[in-house]
Amino acid sequence: EIAEFFYDKIRWILSEAGIPEKIAAKIDILILVLVVVAVTLVIAELLYRIVLFATRRILKHKRYLFLDKMTIGNRMRKVAYITPPIMLNGMLPFMITDDSVWSVYLERVVWIYFVVSVVMAVNAVLSAVGDSAFTNSRYHDRPIKGFIQIGKIIVYLIAVIVIISILTDKSPLYLIGG
């Protein structure tokens, strides 16, 4: 019902703009998806700013090396940007009412987006762990950087396997077994 309400409003706006009904019926899903993606990105940016504000407040009172390293660069933002694909995955059934080609492709795109955002977040956390361990004097004689790089390579390999499994609609175990 919610999706139909928005589709009717979008079609009405498009018809008022002089766009024919056939074309409006084809692009209404695309417009709704773009609006929802924009809203989820705004929510993720707000979440990032709230978490960054809270982290800076914590760091004013007490120094935590890991949190300090997470504020370097865009590491916190990469972690916060896991939320848009999660929200999009939850909203897909409301945006697309039928079992059309759109639903299959959009679901795959959202899952790939989720895998890529998780890889970026895990890499950001691994970089912060590596930086904080390298700063700590107890770990200067340990090959921390090598362990972090091996961890990142493993994360990338798992992500490639999962993305290929999403694209081919096969189980990741099937691909590993092959």
- Nearest of 82, 92, 90, 91 to residue 113 by alpha carbon: 82
- Measured between alpha carbons, how far is 95 from 89 in angstroms, rounded to an integer? 10
Tokens standing for 83? 């939320």
Q: How confident is the model at residue 159 (pLDDT cuts 50, 70, 90)?
A: very high
pLDDT tens by residue, 37-89: 899 999 999 999 999 899 889 889 888 888 888 888 888 889 988 999 999 88
pLDDT tens by residue, 88-106: 888 887 777 666 667 788 8
DSSP 143: -
- Nearest of 96, 73, 134, 88 to residue 4 by alpha carbon: 96
- Measured between alpha carbons, how far is 53 from 70 in angstroms, rounded to an integer? 13
pLDDT tens by residue, 14-27: 777 787 877 776 67
